[in-house]
Amino acid sequence: IFWFKPFQEMEDQCSPLSWGYYYQEEGFEELKHSLLYTTLELETTIVSAHEEISRKEDEMIHLNDLLTMTIRERDEAQAKCQSLMLEKFLLQQQLQQQMEPTSNEDEPRRGGHSN
């Protein structure tokens, strides 16, 4: 009977009733492996997404800095333009005043003595 026990176990493994358990166990291992693989894929995707978000945030900071600098340069250029326009206006007024007669002597006399 002692030699019969291993033979009986082997026979039990070959019986159709034990096949379901074997396939169920094999399916469970496949499921565990698939779940582990999917979890690793998900973690890799999450890390990749965080890296991409970080790169995009850095890019946004850089673009915001460029925009701020451009706005500042525009405002400075507008102020300089206004200053130059005012200076031009004042110079034109000075030039116009210099071109005008300084007294009435330069104007021809009207209605005075007629001979």
Helix (H) or strand (E) segment spanning residue 43: helix 16-99
Q: Provide the residue type at 69 as one letter.
A: M
pLDDT digits (tens, 9 = 90+) for 61-84: 999 999 999 999 999 999 999 999
CA distances from 63 to 67, 68, 69, 72 (A): 6, 9, 10, 14
User: Residue written as tokens 């300084």?
Assistant: 102
Report pLDDT for 25: 74
Report CA dihedral (34, 37, 41, 44) to the nearest 10 degrees: 160
Query: Which residue type does 114 have?
Result: S
Please state the domain extents for the chain. Answer: 7-95
The Cα 34–Cα 28 span in angstroms is: 10
| pTM greater than the 0.85 cutoff | no
